[in-house]
Amino acid sequence: MTLAGKIGDTRWLLVQQLGQGTPKAFLALLIFWLTLLFTSFGLFAPRNFISATTLTLCALAVAGAIGMILELERGFGGLVHISPEPMRQAAKALEPRSHDTAGLGQSRSNKVSRSGLWD
């Protein structure tokens, strides 16, 4: 069972490292489409300060959303990143504490108290 777990962990690590994220062609198409959309809004909107400000703020909001999606694809790096510490703590809690993995000679109450689940 340990070998299967290590193989699964290695496979997951490879998937995370080789992940392509959002395809560049999709991003280019999305940006082109949004540019056309906001250009058409600008052409048909009345020429005043409020409409120009509203279109600018909406364009910034859409650009921020796309930027956030791209930023969150890099989970452990970038400006907004996830701390790896909870995963390390979980992996540490799952490691066997002794070579007696079958639990021979221990009562159930000893196993629970040693696992740290009830502490």
pLDDT tens digits, residue range 43-55?
Answer: 999 999 999 999 9
The interaxial angle of helices 24-44 and 49-72, nearest 10 deg, is 170
- Which DSSP string do the residues of 4-73 spell out, in sequence order? HHHHHHHHHHHHHHH---S-HHHHHHHHHHHHHHHHHHHHHS-SSHHHHHHHHHHHHHHHHHHHHHHHHT
Rounded distance, CA 91 to CA 106, Å?
23
Quick one: which of 88, 85, 64, 84 has its CA closest to 75?
A: 84
Residue 38 in this model has a pLDDT that exceeds 60: yes
Quick one: which of 63, 89, 91 has its CA closest to 5?
A: 91
Q: Which tokens in the block code for residue 27?
A: 């991003």
Domains of the chain, residue spans? 48-76
pLDDT tens-place string over residues 91-107: 888 887 765 555 555 54
Q: What is the pTM of this model?
A: 0.54
